[in-house]
Structure 1
Amino acid sequence: GDISDPHVEELPVMFELKADAAFMNQFKNNSNEVQERFIESLCQAFSIPRGKLRMKNIDCDKAIICILVLPPYGKKVVDSLNGSTSDAVVRRNAVNRCFSDINANVESVTLGEFALEVEGRLMDPRWNKNYIWSSDNRAEGEYWATPIIQGGKPYFCPSGWKRFGIKVATDGREFDSKWGTWNLAYHGTQGEYASSIITSGLKVSMRGCYYAEGIPRVYVSPSIEYCAHPRYARPWEKTTKNGETIWYQLVFQCRVNPTSIKSITPETILAMENKNKKVDPNFTNDELEWTILGREDQEFIADDIICYGMMMRSIKDDPENFKAAKWWLNSDSRCYSSKKSNKTS
């Protein structure tokens, strides 16, 4: 999920419980002050001061309890849940006891705001980054004007996106030794597939352009904006507690083995009458689709493509009005409709 700096911002933590309507109603009604007892026991489990956790919301229908961890204690909770502290196992066991003490069972824990089903243990917050539009305020994030050459191909700053690191290596040295010379690319997807991609790799398709049906393949692109097209990264909207609507998109940042790129081909989204319109100012339209072929028996490609970052974009308006997304309106009508979105709140 969207884990902003937990040292300075509130950290939402969502617990999905085993469905039990009677328990959820008792919890929501705060029978016998069960909420206060639960919050106090969680504070003890995470070893943070009383009053630094508070209830955010309770969804009886979905059996979800969401709490907020006040800064600066969110980092301690993140580290405890993703296993990056020496006593993480002890902490997680203590959290489980908090639920057993109130006769509840935890099915999953989600950190952050986006409501993505991604387990904290799969993420590596050390590599979280915010990419900004200019170098005017470096305190807000990273920006570079000249592309970085990565494996012989340009890597442009993905301005307007946030990266949430995926745990693929113990440190930067190991990452560079394994994939430092590989090309950088992106793969657009939908939020519900995030956890599967992180744990298994990118699922091959048996259909698509440029290769015969039945040949397993995965498509990636050097352009994050091309991958952000709703055909790949369908936006979803969420209503905040203040009634504000925010749209989100998810694209995976990958390293790709250069020897596995079987073809570099043109985009397949623009309408025929708009083929002269540019998708991304950083690339020609003829180099936007890279094809990586899989083996006959391969369902997922996880050896030649490493997904190491979840790129998230939030937009406080309909994405159609977003400057970087204006090119969507040049799409073939079979690829884009402004009504292709999900709503969650």
Structure 2
Amino acid sequence: MKTQRHSLSIIQVCLLTNLSTDEYLSDQPLSSEEKKYYDECKQYYYLTKRPLISVSDEIFDPNVAIESYILKFGIDEDCHQFRLQNFLNNICSMLNITTHDISIKNIQHGSTILETEIFGKLESKDKALKIRVMYESLTDKMQEELAKLNVFFLYMGSIEAFAKQQNYRSEIKLNPQFNRTYGPGHTYWVGALNDGRDRGDKPYYCPVGWQRNSLYITDKFRARFKGWCICYHGTKFNFGLAILLSGLKPADCAAHGEGIYASPSIIYACHPRYAEIKELEPKHQNEYFKNGKYVQFVLECRVHPSNIKVIGPETLGARTTIDSNMSNEEIEWVIETNAKKIVDFNDVDAEMICTGIMIRVTEQHPQSLPDSKWWSG
């Protein structure tokens, strides 16, 4: 199969009635990192019934000038059965772009991986603005429509940032020696843990009822993150699967101001306003999450005390003590993001890093658990 040597604009595509996908298949194979990434994206797609959306943070930075931006689609379809023209016509309509805004670069094997250049005729700042508007228009409904086109992944940004993203992902590893199940009969303690290990200047309490899936960060973790505190960030089910793949978007509107919300209390962080309760379909109960019907994700994170810009009271209107280990007046933190619109927890230079995924899988609804009584008063 010959590699396509030139781009084809959609205005040309629309003039063709028998466009052959094979003409644009690239001989270049996917890298092992990219292939693994797409496999993970597919698992997300199968569970959530929507594509994983990823965007490079440079489109939010007016001081960064990028000459070329791409849209990269992962499509869960045999590339030899893929109808390119129909797909592109649907995408143009869905994303509200015109036929001269986009050009085909190549198609790679691995389901169907379609790379296009977007807004090639515009100035760099105008490209970034249009892509930002496009990204912010991707509502839940639109993501569902993309899924109907078998899109399991969509990336918006520069090709350089995408390559960098893959390098970060290739460095993420599970660190099973530090996996834990917390509770009586497992890893358990009462009060603040004093085992001599450095966890900054904030106390660390047992996250009873949760299972920790540890992530490898760096060989010199204790030296690199000396003085960093443990905190938790509750998240939606979809985001729990996606955050480590495409970064975390900070809160735009919040009671304490802009930034990422976190808490030293997993009891507070797992409130359904922060950590979505997902009822699993029967076919996924054994395949992905054993011995349970409901699942919640909370991210275990580390943050340097200097990046905690607000330590404030709870904002959920609780009428009783939330966590007996701490005051309701100091249970919510806002983490400084230095004006970043996308904070990548996989970047060791980020203001806040993710050290583990906390998972709670229960047969009964979490609202009926003892630690959840404060939800209703």
Output the TM-score relative to the length of structure 1. Answer: 0.54
Matched, 1:18 2:61: no
Cα 1:196–1:248 shift into 2, 3 Å? closer
Question: What residue in structure 2 maps to residue 300 of structure 1?
Answer: 343
Equivalent residues of 2:200, 2:304 under 8 A apart: no
The 8 Å contact of residues 186 and 254 in structure 1, kept in 2 or not, is answered as yes
User: Are the counterparts in 2 of residues 201 and 306 from structure 1 also a CA contact under 8 Å?
Assistant: no
**Where does structure 1 differ by over 4 angstroms across 4 or more consecutive aligned residues?**
14-17, 118-122, 239-245
Cα root mean square deviation, aligned: 3.3
Task: Tell me the CA shift for residue 126 of structure 1.
Answer: 2.9
Match of 1:268 in 2: 315
* Alpha carbons of structure 1 residues 249 and 195: separation in structure 2 relative to 1, 3 Å: closer
**Residues 239 and 175 (structure 1), Cα distance of their counterparts in 2 relative to 1, 3 Å cut:** same
2:332 is matched with which residue? 289
Partner secondary structure for residue 253 of structure 2? coil
Residue by residue over 1:113-154, the C-alpha shift from the partner in whole angstroms, topping out at 9 and shown as x without a partner, is xxxxx999643333211111x3xx3xxx21122312631211
Q: SS at 1:225's partner residue?
A: helix
Which residue number in structure 1 is paired with residue 202 of structure 2?
Answer: 153
Map of 2:227 onto structure 1:
181
Q: How many residues align?
A: 210
Distance change >3 Å, CA 120–CA 261, structure 1 → 2:
closer
- The letter for the 1-side match of 2:360 is R
Percent identity, please: 33
State whether residues 180 and 212 of structure 2, in contact with CA within 8 Å, keep that contact through their aligned partners in structure 1.
yes
Change in CA separation of 1:245 and 1:310 when aligned onto 2, cut-off 3 Å: closer
Among 340, 357, 369, the residue aligned to 1:322: 369
- CA–CA separation in structure 1 for the residues paired with 2:189 and 2:248: 29
**Cα pair distance change 1:264/1:146, threshold 3 Å:** same
Residues 119 and 245 (structure 1 numbering): CA distance in 2 closer, same or farther, change over 3 Å? farther
Three-state SS of the structure 2 residue aligned to 1:267 is coil
1:131 equivalenced with 2:182 (yes/no): yes
Q: Is the 8 A contact 1:220 1:289 kept in 2?
A: yes
Query: What is the identity, as a one-letter code, of the residue corresponding to 1:144?
Result: W
- Report the Cα distance in structure 2 between the residues aligned to 1:202 and 1:257, rounded to whole angstroms: 18
1:294 aligns to what SS in structure 2?
coil
Report the CA distance shift for 1:306/1:121 in structure 2 as closer, same or farther (over 3 A).
closer
Counterpart of 1:191 in structure 2 is 237
> How much does 1:197 deviate?
2.2
Q: Which residue in 1 is equivalent to 2:259?
A: 217
What is the CA-CA distance between 1:328 and the residue it aligns to?
1.0
CA distance in 2, matches of 1:265, 1:294: 17
TM-score by length of 2: 0.49
CA contact (8 A) 2:172 2:217 kept: no
1:183-242 Cα deviation digits (max 9, x unpaired): 11000001211344224543212211123xxxx411110000100000000111125469
